[in-house]
Amino acid sequence: MSLMGVEAYRPVCPPPEVSGCENMSKKNAKQTEASNDMNTNLLVGYVRKSNAGGALKVSINTSAFGDCATYVTSDGQAYVPLVISLNALSKVLNGERAVTTLSQLQD
């Protein structure tokens, strides 16, 4: 089972029983869907605050890490570029959220 869909798929509108979405323009919905198609992320792991609160704990799925693209610097070192949403990380640090994702942007 892949957890990639957890962050990569975000519905444009909440279920009908949730109010406030009835007047959402179709143009915005199409733009959101198009940008979701262009920005596919590979879920690599999770980031959470330690129980003591003084550190970030990063958990990386070794299988997903092996599937990541790499780049090589001029000194011959290979790196895996990963991203964490600053907004989501801020929520983790403030205690509004327990965990956020560690991902690699795919072209």
Task: Share the mean pLDDT of the chain.
Answer: 77
**Residues 14-30, mean pLDDT to the nearest whole number:** 46
Strands 71-72 vs 99-106: parallel, antiparallel or unpaired: unpaired
What is the tens place of the pLDDT at every residue in 55-88? 999 999 999 999 999 999 999 999 999 999 999 9
Q: Where are the alpha helices (DSSP H) in 43-98?
A: 62-66, 86-93
User: What pLDDT does residue 27 have?
Assistant: 46
Cα separation, 79 vs 56, whole angstroms: 21
Please state the domain extents for the chain. Answer: 4-106
Cα separation, 92 vs 56, whole angstroms: 9
> Is the whole model's pTM more than 0.85, yes or no?
no
- The yes-or-no verdict on residue 95 having pLDDT over 80 is yes
Model confidence band, residue 38 (pLDDT cutoffs 50, 70, 90): low
